[in-house]
Amino acid sequence: MTQAVVNPIYNFSAGPAVLPKEVLAQAAAEMLDWHGSGMSVMEMSHRGPEFISIYKEAVADLRELLAVPDNYKILFLQGGGLGENAIIPMNLVGLAASQPATIDFVQTGSWSSKSIKEAAKYANVNVAASSQASSFAGVPPVSEWQLTPGAAYLHICTNETIDGVEFQEAPQVPAGTTIVADMSSHILSRVVDVSQYGVIFGGAQKNIGPAGLTVVIVREDLLGHALDICPSAFDWTNVAAHESMYNTPPTYGIYIAGLVFQWLKRQGGVAAMEQRNIEKAALLYAALDADDFYQNRVAPPYRSRMTIPFYLRDESLNDAFLAGAKQRGLLQLKGHKSVGGMRASIYNAMPIEGVQALVDYLNEFAGR
């Protein structure tokens, strides 16, 4: 009797997204009894010694992985990236040289556009540069950015999850400019110089852990400027002073993030992971660019390594493409509803075997 061949499952979801199988296996093994404590992590007091040890190790490992300088605080909060779009201006508009404050933005896609809309509730907004006219095909040259003297800060989204546009380096802006970077969908995927930024933030559900956890890395001198209307639980000064325990944090999300940080260290750290990500992205883009059957609409210098949108030349084939992909264990490839097409998110936890399986299917479907 011939056994049916079962394809391995590869999940290309943009977030919540794939997690390392090792991490999921460890979490499953520890679900009912964490390290002989008799408790699941979900049952622990956030102020008890067991969870405090989990929290401290997670902070230390993230600081090591990103080489976070000592004068930066690492905060674990709730609210996601969208929540931070409000929390950030409430914490930082007080930095402006004069009030009412102005916040500068570089608009490179859907997420920076959402940030602009939310920030306008708290301050004047200056779109210093935008690539909207080119359908967000890249990042406007820094030489064209019209920055505001005395602005509270400059907000950028360094990887646009929907549009697939990625900053390849920190922008070189005038000294004294505080850069706030939304790194939700590529944090820990590449080496960054944290000291180039005032704030780095991201929802965890793409490259760190489960939904419900938000990571904020903030330079200490930026604390203490919150507006009076800022809720106490979202005032970074309070959160930092209480080591993310001002209110009950997302404990299980922090635990899973900590396991992911340990996994990353076992993989050789961020620099080693970056090389793998370069290899994975090159493999996928080569298949998309082989002919005109598929199309990625981002200019090559700005193409994301993590979130790769693409379109079929004949979009009437979309449903057949997705059905065939699902049959082969290639899941969650449908593009965001706002832009259509397809999207493959190939975060750290996506093995190169998954990318190769997708490439094989792309070639097969295109009749190559």
In tens, the pLDDT along 156-170 reads 999 999 999 999 999
The residues pairing with 215 across neighbouring beta strands, listed in sequence order, are 76, 202
Q: What are the chain's domains?
A: 11-19+269-365 (3.90.1150.10), 27-265 (3.40.640.10)
For the full predicted model, state whether its pTM sits above 0.85.
yes
List Cβ neighbours of 197 (8 Å cut-off, separation of 6 or more): 170, 179, 180, 181, 217, 219
Give CA–CA dist 107/194, Å, rounded.
22
Burial of 283 (C-beta count, 10 Å sphere; 0-12/13-18/19+): middle
In tens, the pLDDT along 46-74 reads 999 999 999 999 999 999 999 999 999 99
The residues pairing with 295 across neighbouring beta strands, listed in sequence order, are 311
172: tokens are 């070189």
Give CA–CA dist 260/58, Å, rounded.
9
Give CA–CA dist 284/344, Å, rounded.
9
140: number of Cβ within 10 Å: 18
Position of tokens 């002989």?
A: 36
Q: What are phi and psi of 148, to 5 degrees?
A: -95, 120
**How many residues does this entry show for the chain?**
368
In tens, the pLDDT along 1-50 reads 555 556 799 999 999 999 999 999 999 999 999 999 999 999 999 999 99
Element (H, E) at 179: strand 179-182
Instruction: Average the pLDDT over each of 21-30, 92-101, 174-183, 303-312 and give the range with the smallest value.
Output: 92-101
Mean pLDDT computed over 105-121: 94
Residue 82: pLDDT band with limits 50, 70, 90? confident
Q: Please list the active-site residues.
A: 111, 182, 206
